[in-house]
Chain A
Amino acid sequence: MDESSGASDLAKMATANAGSSDKPSKVKVGVKDVNVFYGPKQALFDVSIDIHDRTVTSFIGPSGCGKSTFLRCINRMNDTIDIARVEGDIRIDETDIHDPNLDVVELRARVGMVFQKPNPFPKSIYENIAYGPKIHGLAQNKATTDEIVESSLRKAALWEEVKDRLQEPGTGLSGGQQQRLCIARAIAVSPEVILMDEPCSALDPIATAKIEDLIAELRENYTIIIVTHSMQQAARVSQTTAFFHLGILVEVGATDFMFTNPKDQRTQDYITGRFG
């Protein structure tokens, strides 16, 4: 395949996507000089980036470059790994997420996460969605819970498909439906930021398209950060793209510029398919 034509396809997709977010919004997630270590091995080197409110930012890069690690820093999921150590400044709305006064459980409600392989709880569809609000005290009674379940499923474009079988197990749905269920589960606790770690890599193209449409809709209310292996996907859904390589944030910028006119040679090489 011709390298330059591949790149220009991407550029076309990116430009098509760029339009609506030309107005700069406030910084939702501010990251400064983050270093992450797994035991003695360093995985991220001095990463700094600003994520703007109500945009879709995508992290791209070859395997093992640290993009998933960095994503997991934002909701402190790396805390669950014993040997992981995170240094640096990460702020959401100017609040330091590593502040001892900040409850990490609250953080994880405000910053939701969707994983690569859909992982609904082995409970009913209803219980999957209702669990989060229940433990955070967001729903006092059944009526409120029912409301939250319905609105989350609607926002995740899943309501019509499952409204008649809410008591069936969540694991009985198809892959794409399960992933939308996980998105609904994240939405149910009223997050401000949604992190998605390669959400479509386990799905077929039709399901992928549905999720990408969903991301475009969700962008109006949530800040979304998506890690993806597919540059086409990054070009389709995101307004800002960040390119990682070997633990370093090489370049970040508006998606259409990244794919038409990257500043760094490494970015150019990756986009044109010379490696990764």
Chain B
Amino acid sequence: MAETTVDSTRNADGTVNWSSDAAKRSRRRRYGADTRLKIYGLTAIIIAVGVLGILLATLIIDGRTAFVQTRVTVDIFVDPELVDPENIERGNFRQIVLDSIASKYPELEDPADVRTARNILTNNAHFMVRDEVVANPSLIGQTFEIVIPASDPFDQLNKGVIDRDLPEDRRRVNDFEIALFDELVEQGRISTPLNWGLITNSDSRFPELAGLRGAIVGSFYLLLVTFLISFPVGIAAAVYLEEFAPKNRWTGLIEVNINNLAAVPSIVFGLLGLAVFINFIGLPRSAPLVGGMVLSLMTLPTMIIVTRAALKQVPPSIREGGYGVGASKHQVVMHHVLPLAIPGILTGTIIGLAQALGETAPLLLIGMNAFVPGDPGGLTDASTALPTQIFIWADSPERGFVAKTSAGILVLLGFLITMNAVAIYLRRRLERTW
């Protein structure tokens, strides 16, 4: 191709030569930029999804063993000499369990060995046996079968977490204990069903018995209080700011401050809760009431911002129609604008509550990371919440808690995903086109 005449896009006579080399080069450059932009975007998505995938994979790998629980089927003989039918509760069930174990391992002579064998079962085994007999007094003098969770070291052994090939002094369980356990395995007495206890049990010192029930109930109370405070206050504030407040310097200042409040680090709210609610006002520590009040302060800015956005979305023609018919200001807002803004408000509320569910720092400061072995009975009882329970477990030394921490995180994620999915579903369902 001759260089001189086709190198520039504009010909000598002023017309445009679209197929000149210069034009082609310029077009190729532009298409190149298009492709590069697409690649950047795709790479960014892959990185984001990849990191998320790695996170989930790690959690699942670490936590999967916590979703099953090793259990031992034992035959218990309820020696009538150790239990008084008039006062079953006070019976010597420790001895009953020891004796039953001893009879299962006739080759063990040393009582210390029998105790070792008994410790294959969870520490609270005798309480479980006691509850069985209390419920069914006819068992006195009988032998019955009961399924009891294995204690943590043997639970981990069975799940393969404890490496049998390590030298004995580096292992949690020694060869003797392993032999005892393997005997039970051969007898078919070991089972690993799904661990519903993860959800139905309260917290415990023993990982094999620990569950999230107390934390779930605590989180539920927390969210209830948060909702009851931030929903009405947030909506009322947003309605006032959007519909009634004059547009002057003061309201501008208020708006800026509300937006700033949404950016305050959550631990500051925890300090506020500690200093004012607990110390100054004297509310009880670790109570969902206080936690709910702190979290509602954090959710309030979100509620206000979301409600204002929903109100702004309502077209002015609706308001004009209301005014035109002679409705007063509050009638226009309450009868026409607010009902149409409800879908947006609802979506924002659920998202705000989902955020509140996962907040940990402020709850730690007001003491919701206490060890609470039962459910909170009400709003003023000491309690934990899901994120703080995970925090406690992460700190605990027993091996079983490592897996339980990851499992707890997965349960929390499950709740969050469900709440967000509900929010998205509601938004789609209730969306209106004008």
- Assess whether B325 is in contact with A82, with CB atoms less than 8 Å apart: no
- Assess whether A108 is in contact with B324, with CB atoms less than 8 Å apart: yes
B170 within 8 A of A: no
- Assess whether B246 is in contact with A80, with CB atoms less than 8 Å apart: no
B321 within 8 A of A: yes
A182 within 8 A of B: yes
Asked if A189 meets B326 with Cβ closer than 8 Å, knowing A119-B317, A121-B336, A135-B331, the reply is yes
Q: A132 to B332: give the CA distance in the assembly, Å.
A: 11
Query: Which A residues lie within 8 Å of B317 (CB)?
Result: 115, 117, 119
Q: A136 to B432: give the CA distance in the assembly, Å.
A: 29
- Assess whether B318 is in contact with A135, with CB atoms less than 8 Å apart: no
Q: Closest Cβ of chain B: how far from A171's Cβ, in Å?
A: 8
Asked if A108 meets B325 with Cβ closer than 8 Å, knowing A82-B247, A135-B331, the reply is yes
- Assess whether B323 is in contact with A77, with CB atoms less than 8 Å apart: yes
B335 within 8 A of A: yes
Asked if A108 meets B326 with Cβ closer than 8 Å, knowing A82-B247, A135-B331, the reply is yes
The listed residue (B246, B324, B340) touching A113 by CB distance below 8 A is B324
B304-348 CB contacts (< 8 Å) to partner A: 317-328, 331, 335-336, 340
Q: A227 to B319: give the CA distance in the assembly, Å.
A: 21
Asked if A77 meets B320 with Cβ closer than 8 Å, knowing A122-B340, A131-B335, the reply is yes
Interface magnitude class on chain A: 20 to 34
- Assess whether A80 is in contact with B319, with CB atoms less than 8 Å apart: yes
A residues bordering B, Cβ < 8 Å? 75, 77, 80, 82, 105-109, 112-115, 117, 119-122, 131-132, 135-136, 182, 185-186, 189
The listed residue (B319, B321, B326) touching A120 by CB distance below 8 A is B321
Query: Which A residues lie within 8 Å of B323 (CB)?
Result: 77, 80, 108
Q: Closest Cβ of chain A: how far from B392's Cβ, in Å?
A: 50
- Assess whether A115 is in contact with B321, with CB atoms less than 8 Å apart: yes
Q: A114 to B325: give the CA distance in the assembly, Å.
A: 9
Q: Closest Cβ of chain A: how far from B142's Cβ, in Å?
A: 69
Query: Which B residues lie within 8 Å of A122 (CB)?
Result: 318, 340, 432
Chain B residue at minimal CB-CB distance from A116: B317
Q: A109 to B328: give the CA distance in the assembly, Å.
A: 11
Q: Closest Cβ of chain B: how far from A67's Cβ, in Å?
A: 17
Chain A residue at minimal CB-CB distance from B322: A121
- Assess whether A135 is in contact with B327, with CB atoms less than 8 Å apart: yes
Asked if A135 meets B320 with Cβ closer than 8 Å, knowing A82-B246, A82-B247, A122-B432, the reply is no
Residue with the greatest number of chain A CB neighbours at <10 A, chosen from B247, B335, B340: B335
Q: A105 to B332: give the CA distance in the assembly, Å.
A: 12
Chain B residue at minimal CB-CB distance from A117: B317
A-B contact pairs, 17 of them (CB 8 A): A77-B324, A82-B246, A105-B328, A107-B326, A108-B323, A108-B324, A113-B320, A115-B317, A115-B321, A117-B317, A121-B322, A131-B327, A132-B326, A135-B325, A182-B321, A185-B321, A186-B324
Q: Closest Cβ of chain A: how far from B320's Cβ, in Å?
A: 6
Q: Closest Cβ of chain B: how far from A61's Cβ, in Å?
A: 22
Chain B residue at minimal CB-CB distance from A112: B324
